[in-house]
Structure formats: C-alpha cells, structure tokens
Amino acid sequence: MDRSKRRFVQALGATAAMASLSVSALAARRTTWDLLIVGAGTAGLPAAIFAAGRGRHVLLVDAAPQIGGTMHLSSGQMSAAGTRLQRSQGIIDTPQEHFDDLMRISRGTIDQTIARLAVGEAAETFDWLMSVGFEPLAGHPVSGLAHEPYSKPRYYWGARGARSILEALGPLVDRGVAAGRIDLLLEHRVVELTTSRRGAVTGVAAQDAGGARRELRARNVLLTAGGYASNAAMFEKLSGIPKFVDHSYAYSQGQGLELGESVGGYVRGAEKYLANFGVILASEAQPAPLLARADFYPERRPPWEIYVNAHGRRFIREDMQSVDAREQSLRLQPLMRHWVVFDQSVAERAPPLIVDWEKEDMLAAFDSGAAYFYKADSIDALAGAAGLPPRELAATIEAYNYGVQTGNDFLGRRHLPVPLAKPPFYAIRHQGVSITSTAGLAVDGELRVIRRDGAPVDNLYAAGEILGSGATQGQAFCGGMMVTPAITFGRLLGQRL
C-alpha cells in the first residue's frame, strides 16, 4: 500500500474511496475472517489492533465513511486506578478502590461483574495508550469535577478530548492494514447476523448506501456498534423520556442492539436512565442542538439564581456540592427540566452564568428572543412567558427572599447573596439530557452475548456503549466509565478471541 493510501486509513482520514477499494479486494483476499468487528469505533479499533497483533485476520465493518465512531466528538475522559502515571506521582490507588467508588456513587446499581472487569483492567489499558502515544493533559490525573468526584485522582483526558485517543490508535490500525491483518470496509451497514442451523453466529450481511448486500463470514463476530443515542424512537422507548438533544454520533442508531436481539440476545438496564443536569437547547425542535450550559458547579461559581421545576418550586439547595445529588434531584422533576430564575440585581452583579459566554451574550439572548430565554417586568408576566404557574413562582421567590433576609433558607442553602426583587425578572429553561445510551445488550463475564436463560449465543461478543451506560455506571454518571471500559473490553476481546 502506498503512503498516501496508508495515511488515508489512519483514523481521521479513512474515506469511502478507501472503503470501496477494500470492497472489491475483499472477496479475493479472504472468504472467512477470524474476527469480524461491527463498528470501527472506540471499542472496535483496539479489538482489531490486538487481534491483528496476535496474527489474526480481522474485518472491521463500519456504516460511516470514517473510522473512530464517537471518538470524533466525545470528551474522552478516562478513569483508571493503579496506572504508571499515578505511581509516578506517588498516588497509591487500586481497582478495588475504584470499584468501591463506583458502588458508592451509583448506590450499588452498576453491573458488578462487568464493572469489576472494567476497573480491574483499566490501568493496563491506560498504560498501553500512553505507550502508543496518548498524552494526558498536564497535571492529570485529577479527582474530577464534571461528575461526582472519585476518592482519588484517577481521571484523565487528552488535549483534544477523545480525538487524542483516536490519534494514538489510528497509526496502529494503519499498521494492521499494511500488514494485511486488518481489512476495512467502510460505508457498509451491518443489517443482519447470519447463523448456523443450531443458532451459532457465522457472520454478517452488510449493505452499502446503494442497497447492495454482501455476506461476510467469520469465526467470531464482535458487536461494537455503539449505542442508540441518535435514534429518537429507540431512545424514547428505552428511556421513557423523549430524546431532547441532538449531540451524539449520528451513527449511534442502536442497530447493534437489534442485531444482538435478532439471534436471541436481550436488552437490559433501561431503568437506570439518568439525565445530566440541564443544558440549554438551541430551538424548540425535538431533538434540538445543544446551545449552551450554565455553570452549575458551586465550587467554581456559587449560585446567585434559584432553580425551579415545572410547578414553580425549588427542588434542590442550589449550592449543594454534589453533582450526583443535582442529577438525582432533577431525575424526579417533570420531564427532567428546570428553569433558572433571577432578577436584575443578579443580572448586574453576578459573575457570568453560562459557560464560555460573556454576561452581555446572555443578556442579548433575552432580547433577541432566543428559545428558552424569558424576561418580563413582573414575576407574574415572567411565569406567563416561561410557562410556569404564577402563584407558585411568586411564593417560591417570596420564600427564597425570606431566606436571604434571615439566613434561614428553607432548603438549607448557604450562598444567599441578594433577594430576587428588582425587575426585570429572567428565566432560562434547562433540559436534563443524556447523550449516551443507558440500556444495552446483556453479556456474561466473558463479554459473550447471552440469552435470557444466561446461555451464550455462540461466536457472538459485544463491547462498548452497546452494553449500556448502566452496566459500568449504574444510575449515575461515573467519570470516564464509558470510554475506558470500551477500549478495555475491545483490547481484552482482541487478545482473547
């Protein structure tokens, strides 16, 4: 393969032209692969790299015109305990402590078998990533602020989010392709699993954009097709709440789950759905793009505003320093949404509320009629504009102002800078959202797809978000517990299959 083509295959550059080259060459090259991987993303790439490194012939099939999957947009925060980097900084940490933190943060709702496997192997994954060129940000690991903090600094990410990981993996995929160990078939959607008469998986059927279908045979099939976070119908069916935000990888359509179910597998964990604390959506479309996020971290910016639910009532002490408590309190509110309410004094005196926006940007959003930004000269009119019950909102503000005056906030809030009394009054509607998939295919401790009776479907494995966030995070957001397990499980299956 010449140099330009090789670069083409490198993570960010692989395109349709390269894929069609592979298509025409495929049949001539091989009729059966040792491992066929459905999805060349976060979990699929390490699986291919490790299997190829052990001399196996791998076929990577992806619906997209590029490899990398969700790594193109993920923040890529990883967590791993017992890494060389930690030791070099004198941080003594163990997988058991990581596991204990997951149990604490998730209140015991993780899948203990899957999560234990993930944390037990995470350090080896992370050390390997660093050995192949991944560089965490200076000063890492950290304990984390984005999610409920761990008890130890074991949280890492690169300068370019998950792209930093992809940039380390790309050349290794390239090497496997050059060595003739990895075949890459892009712009081909796997639409069916083929099986033997006794139900063992024998390969897949894949379809290109023009509908041309080809059958591909393999000794083992690994489903790493990601989640369903971009499939509004499946999201609503499994989460019980509409998909409000469009902020996930477009190819995360849940087809991997359907493929697994088609041969006897089943989906579990839907009840663990949780939303990130609210974001501001760009429009009233459903789903809508994400416009902005408010800074809800009291450690960084003590709140000047109040948060009310659709009943016009406060539901949490706004300066509560637990990310998980904020998320759990929001989970119990109608449609998992809330309004941030304030007055002119706050508008004038508080530090900027919205991340990466100047205060003027926010005030301009009220005047330009941006969706979900409401401003009015009275509380009554504000309630009318924002769709909140006026009497309840007025009572909530009166109660809050009593707390400011006396220091006795009814919810125990301590940061009480100014009463909300000076018109105009403002409200910004925030929507709790999840950009990942909670439910996923059931697997056993060897990551074999299983039936409801626990028996594995022969030759079929799964890794990554297709297992559902609930497996490794439970009903919580545990930092780095999707990217690291995806890479780890891909690595383990690549080594073992």
Ligand X SMILES: Cc1cc2nc3c(=O)[nH]c(=O)nc-3n(C[C@H](O)[C@H](O)[C@H](O)COP(=O)(O)OP(=O)(O)OC[C@H]3O[C@@H](n4cnc5c(N)ncnc54)[C@H](O)[C@@H]3O)c2cc1C
**In the complex, which residues of this chain contact ligand X (CB under 6 A)?**
38-44, 61-64, 69-71, 73-77, 162, 189-190, 224-226, 247-249, 251-253, 255-256, 435-436, 464-466, 480-483, 486
Q: Please identify, using beta-carbon distances, which residue of 64 and 379 lies nearer to ligand X.
A: 64
Between CA 447 and CA 450 the distance in angstroms is 9
Strand 456-462 vs strand 448-450: parallel, antiparallel, or unpaired? antiparallel
CB of 399 to ligand X, least distance (A): 37
Between CA 293 and CA 354 the distance in angstroms is 6
Q: Please identify, using beta-carbon distances, which residue of 66 and 86 lies nearer to ligand X.
A: 66
Supply 249's token pair. Answer: 């990888």
Q: 409 — phi, psi (to 5°)?
A: -70, 135
If DSSP codes are grouped into helix, strand and coil, which group holds residue 138? coil
Return the number of other C-beta atoms located less than 10 Å from residue 381's C-beta.
Answer: 16
CB of 126 to ligand X, least distance (A): 12
- Residue appearing with tokens 């990466």: 356
Q: Please identify, using beta-carbon distances, which residue of 182 and 435 lies nearer to ligand X.
A: 435
Which residue is at the shortest CB distance from ligand X? 41
CB of 80 to ligand X, least distance (A): 11
Q: Please identify, using beta-carbon distances, which residue of 476 and 486 lies nearer to ligand X.
A: 486
CB of 158 to ligand X, least distance (A): 11
Q: Please identify, using beta-carbon distances, which residue of 38 and 420 lies nearer to ligand X.
A: 38
CB of 103 to ligand X, least distance (A): 18
CB of 472 to ligand X, least distance (A): 9
Between CA 114 and CA 423 the distance in angstroms is 53
CB of 63 to ligand X, least distance (A): 4
Amino acid at 254: G
Supply 328's token pair. Answer: 């759990």
Q: Of 10, 175, 165, which Cα lies nearest the Cα of 80?
A: 165
CB 380 within 8 A of CB 389: no
Between CA 154 and CA 172 the distance in angstroms is 26
CB 313 within 8 A of CB 390: no
Q: Please identify, using beta-carbon distances, which residue of 190 and 294 lies nearer to ligand X.
A: 190
Q: Please identify, using beta-carbon distances, which residue of 312 and 479 lies nearer to ligand X.
A: 479
CB of 31 to ligand X, least distance (A): 20
CB 333 within 8 A of CB 241: no
Between CA 242 and CA 64 the distance in angstroms is 25
Q: Please identify, using beta-carbon distances, which residue of 289 and 412 lies nearer to ligand X.
A: 289
CB 484 within 8 A of CB 43: no
If DSSP codes are grouped into helix, strand and coil, which group holds residue 218? strand
